[in-house]
Chain A
């Protein structure tokens, strides 16, 4: 459509240019003849011929002069002499107008012009000329043909390009659709490769990212289900073994009591594990509750007070070194859970007579909570895994101390969702240190 419009526009423009050029040239010729003829006293074929023969620039296919009634006084072809020439151009010129008309036909440009001959303010006749110009006609013809050819070539190029692009685009879209169908069937390893550097490539890249996230999520879910099943199976197996032993063996009351206490202990572990799993599910699935600006120190003291009996029972000393002005944006329950899990771990995996030191310092932009224990430490190869669910460094000891392997996973999840970061460094035989940082907020806070 645009090309057709362009073609028409160019054609009209070129014709207009020719028209304007031709019009001024032919009107000038007519006026030149009119001016010369207006000086004549006597009008007849001889006097008019005499004047016109002196005007060499008046080259035209036909030159015709009429009087004011339209009677032809001179005709270069001789056909119209002494006849009434009532052509539209002559009629208009004899009414005092300059006229120019033209027509392009069969490779020739036919132009006509007429102007009045004015003598003492009144129309005395008119000069009419015709030009049959094949040279300019050929130029117009060539121009039209060139425009037509260019248009056709452009049309062909556009159609070809559209076909190729359409085919290319369809192929790439089909690749993405095929990958989607494959992923719908559960194959998350599928990747889309469409090539190029456009929106489709971006779409494919986003799609691949999404697939990767789905794959990671699916792997985590599988591992979690597998780990959770395994971890839940262990205390259940112990309970089954103990109950079978009670049922199959004759035992005294003291031994039976011991077995029943063990069953209770395993059931308690199962209960704790279930509670932590629920807690972890809540952290993962629930939206962040409305945070509030709170001072960290009072909550840390509250946790220390809560864990003090446990620490004393294990022979571990709790030391607190807290900056009172560290204020962060967090929910009180989340902060409590973080501090509790880290301090509880420090007590659990400490040595008798050891220490758990909690330090809270305030930097320029960050509040930094450090929990240091003097336990057996964590091997370097295990450091990368300690935040994974159900991962335990020393499984035997963890079970003995009632560990579920979920505490640190919960801590990391809560820290992350409160815009914080957690890091760990440890040295085997010396102890472990957890660093938790949160953005600090300098606002007056009422201690609840």
Chain B
């Protein structure tokens, strides 16, 4: 009886500790947080998972531009912004959007582009993503984006290492 009980408990324990199954077809879409309330540890952007189902890049980017499904995220591109075309030169991707983005403030255009570029970096091994809308464009490399200031954390770590 005791042995059965122990086996049952071990089975339950192993089941509880098992890693969450992952969806290999899932892609991550990044968007600015909606009604963002400042948090020291949380960046101004968030993400949600979408089932790609082996769709091509253009389809995924059109899907992206439709906006997020989660309520705490939002797309800051103007309503009606559409994907016009995509060009790829080697590992450099250029995304052409409809010219409605012209009306956006510089920083908003950068933030929206950064979210789109970060999404693209996760979809393929791009070395650079350029977002172009009308006569505006902005280019990003994977290491160009800083969403959190970790300098204080680094100092904290250094202090602990060298008191």
Chain A residues within CB distance 8 Å of chain B: 61-62, 67-72, 77, 79-80, 82-88, 90-91, 94-95, 101, 103, 105-106, 108, 110, 112, 123, 130, 132, 134
Q: Is B106's CB under 8 angstroms from A68's CB?
A: yes
Report, nearest first, the 6 A-B pairs whose CB atoms are least far apart. Answer: A94-B107, A68-B106, A110-B152, A69-B110, A69-B106, A103-B40
Contact partner, A91, options B44, B144, B145, B152, Cβ 8 Å: B44
Contact of A132 with B107 in the complex, beta carbons under 8 Å: no
121-163 of chain B: CB within 8 A of chain A: 138, 140, 143-149, 151-152, 155-156, 159
Which listed residue, A70, A79, A80, A88, touches B43 by the CB 8 Å rule?
Answer: A88
Residues on A with C-beta less than 8 A from B59 are none
Residues of B contacting A62 in the complex (Cβ-Cβ under 8 angstroms): 149, 151
Asked whether any CB of chain A lies closer than 8 Å to the CB of B111, the reply is: yes
Q: CB distance B110 to A84 under 8 Å?
A: yes
A91 to B146, CA, bound (A): 12
- A contact residues around B148 at 8 Å (CB): 87
A132 to B150, CA, bound (A): 12
In the complex, whether B114 has a CB less than 8 A from a CB of chain A is yes
Query: Shortest distance in angstroms between A136's beta carbon and chain B's nearest beta carbon?
Result: 14
Q: Considering the chains assembled together, what is the distance between the CA atoms of A71 and B138 in angstroms?
A: 10
Say whether B152 contacts A132, CB under 8 Å.
Answer: yes
B14 within 8 Å of A (CB atoms):
no
The chain B residue with its CB closest to the CB of A79 is: B151
Interface residues of B (CB under 8 A from A): 36, 38-40, 43-45, 105-111, 114, 138, 140, 143-149, 151-152, 155-156, 159
Contact of A88 among B44, B138, B140, B151 (CB under 8 A): B44
Note all chain B residues with C-beta closer than 8 A to A80: 146
Residues of chain B within 8 A (CB-CB) of A134 are 159
CB atoms of A88 and B144 under 8 A apart: no
CB distance from A125 to the nearest CB of B (A): 9
- A70-B111, A83-B146, A87-B44 known; 5 new pairs, CB 8 Å cut-off, are A61-B152, A69-B109, A79-B151, A86-B147, A94-B105
Q: Is the beta-carbon distance between A87 and B156 smaller than 8 angstroms?
A: no
A91-B107 contact in complex given A77-B151, A84-B145, A86-B147, C-beta closer than 8 Å: yes
Q: Number of contacts between A and B (CB, 8 Å)?
A: 87
Instruction: Please indicate the chain B residues that have their CB under 8 angstroms from the CB of A69 in the complex.
Output: 106-107, 109-110, 138
Q: Is there an interface contact between A130 and B110, defined as CB atoms closer than 8 Å?
A: no
Contact of A83 among B39, B43, B144 (CB under 8 A): B144
Residues of A contacting B159 with CB < 8 Å? 108, 134
- Nearest Cβ in chain A — how far from B130, in angstroms? 13
CB atoms of A70 and B149 under 8 A apart:
no
CB B126 to nearest CB in A, in angstroms, measures 16
A108 surroundings in chain B (CB, below 8 A):
152, 155-156, 159
Closest chain B CB from A231 CB (angstroms): 94
Considering only CB atoms, which chain A residue lies closest to B136 in the complex?
Answer: A69
Which of B40, B146, B151, B156 contacts A86, CB < 8 Å? B146
Contact of A130 among B138, B144, B152 (CB under 8 A): B152
Q: Can you list 8 residue pairs at the A/B interface with Cβ under 8 Å?
A: A68-B106, A69-B109, A80-B146, A84-B140, A86-B110, A87-B44, A94-B105, A103-B40
Contacts of A90 in B (CB 8 A): 107
When C-beta atoms are compared, the residue in chain A nearest to B141 turns out to be A83
Minimum CB–CB distance for B60 against chain A, Å: 22
Whether B145 lies near A61 (C-beta < 8 A) is: no
- Are A68 and B149 CB-contacts (below 8 A) given A84-B144, A88-B43? no
User: Cβ of B156 and Cβ of A91 under 8 Å apart?
Assistant: no
A103 to B156 CA separation, bound complex (whole angstroms)? 13
A273 to chain B, nearest CB (A): 96
Q: Are B107 and A70 in contact (CB under 8 A)?
A: yes
Contact of A68 among B40, B107, B152 (CB under 8 A): B107
Assess whether B149 is in contact with A61, with CB atoms less than 8 Å apart.
no
Alpha-carbon separation in the docked complex, A105 to B152 (Å):
10
Interface centre among A61, A69, A84, A95 (most CB of B within 10 A): A84
Q: Taking the nearest CB of chain B, how far is it from the CB of A428, in angstroms?
A: 107
> Assuming A62-B151, A79-B151, A94-B107, is B156 touching A106 (CB within 8 A)?
yes
**Chain A residues within an 8 Å CB radius of B111:** 70, 86, 91
A132 pairs with B155, CB closer than 8 A:
yes
Task: Return chain A residues, CB-CB under 8 Å to B140.
Answer: 84
Chain B residue numbers with a CB within 8 Å of A132 are 151-152, 155-156
8 Å CB contact of B114 from A67, A84, A94, A95: A84
Return the chain B residue nearest A106 by Cβ: B156
Q: Identify the closest chain B residue to A131 (Cβ).
A: B152
User: Which residues of B sit under 8 angstroms from A72, Cβ to Cβ?
Assistant: 146
Q: How far is the CB of B137 from chain A (nearest CB, A)?
A: 11
Cα separation A91 to B149 with both chains bound (whole Å): 13
B85 to chain A, nearest CB (A): 23
Asked whether, in the complex, the Cβ of B151 is within 8 Å of the Cβ of A61, the reply is: yes
> Cα distance A71–B45 when bound, in Å?
17
Cβ–Cβ contact B149 & A130, under 8 A: yes
Please state if A83 and B152 are interface contacts (CB–CB under 8 Å).
no
CB nearest neighbor in A for B105: A95
Inter-chain CA distance A108–B153, complex, in Å, is 11
Tell me which of A62, A82, A91 has the highest count of chain B C-beta atoms within 10 A of its own C-beta.
Answer: A91
Q: Which of B143, B147, B155 contacts A87 (CB 8 A)?
A: B147
